[in-house]
Amino acid sequence: MSRLVVQHPRLAPAAVERFSREIGRGPDRRSRRRADWNEVSMSNATLTHLSDLCGVDAEIVPMHDRLENYRMIAFDMDSTLITIECIDEIADYVGRKAEVAAITQAAMRGEIADYDESLRRRVALLAGLSASTLQQVYDERVRLSPGARTLIDACRGAGLKVVLVSGGFTFFTDRLHARLGFDYSRSNTLEIIDARLTGRVVGEIVNAEGKRRFVEQVCERIGCTPAQSVVVGDGANDLRMMAIAGISVAYHAKPIVHTETKHAVNHCGLDSILAFFDGTRFGWDD
């Protein structure tokens, strides 16, 4: 049997009551932002209808799946681990944010077949920008998504390796790697000459296939299979690494991602992912 987890930062009694009527009984446990029902069977169509109707995150998860059963968790960076798309914010300093953001969103929605070319087009618009702007973006605009530290700390405490894999840039992933203690990270490198961006990317671009390969490489290095990994992302270029993961989570994601992942978080923070695993106390202490 399975467990139903319903979550929201401010979980309304009416939402809990609506799920209770569907199931035929009240939750086995409930707090301010989470309600659980054990031994529940519910179709995906009903689950989606109720979660949309009530405006909550609702997932059917295995009864006894523990975080300790997994060996690695991998995060996308932009709009997943952090709240912004770094390339869009860099472009703001040359007055091209709207133009770059439109390409970024189309790529994340899966509307651009050639991701590499879309990235090159966006980076080319940054040519001539002072490299010091990257530090400005990091200092002034990079913010962790809610719950990021809690989730990372819990995963590390359960023995998982923590991985950052991004189609973004090493300037940002390197700093987040050091700040949050990631075990492995991979992203793209902006070319800088004479302290200015050239508008080019150095080396092979980390695209959807590159992300998948990196997850596989880390799994091989630490001695596990991709089925023992958890992958969290929001865009179309995350789908290939999500497809090989044991658990894939669409975090505030584009529609195309929702249709191809195991779980979704639309209203809560990253730490709500902990509720998918038996034995974690997330949500019970409020």
Model pLDDT, residue 286:
60
pLDDT confidence tier of residue 111, bands split at 50, 70 and 90: confident
As a whole number, mean pLDDT of residues 249-263 equals 92
Model pLDDT, residue 107:
85
As a whole number, mean pLDDT of residues 245-257 equals 95
Residue 241 near residue 74 (C-beta atoms within 8 A): yes
As a whole number, mean pLDDT of residues 71-96 equals 96
Beta strand segments in the chain, E = 2-7, 29-30, 34-40, 57-62, 72-75, 161-169, 184-193, 196-202, 229-233, 247-251, 263-265
Model pLDDT, residue 281:
86
Model pLDDT, residue 230:
98
Name all domains of the chain by residue range, CATH numbers in brackets: 1-63 (3.30.70.260), 67-286 (3.40.50.1000)
Is 78 one of the catalytic residues? yes
- How does DSSP classify residue 255? H
d(CA 270, CA 143) in angstroms, rounded, equals 13
Q: Which of 78, 234, 238, 271 is catalytic?
A: 78
- Residue 70 above 80 pLDDT? yes
Is 76 one of the catalytic residues? yes
pTM recorded for the entire structure: 0.95
Q: Which of 57, 76, 234, 238 is catalytic?
A: 76
What type of residue is 69? N
As a whole number, mean pLDDT of residues 48-73 equals 97
Mean pLDDT estimate for the chain: 95
Task: Write out pLDDT tens, residues 199-242.
Answer: 999 999 999 999 999 999 999 999 999 999 999 999 999 999 99
Model pLDDT, residue 12:
97
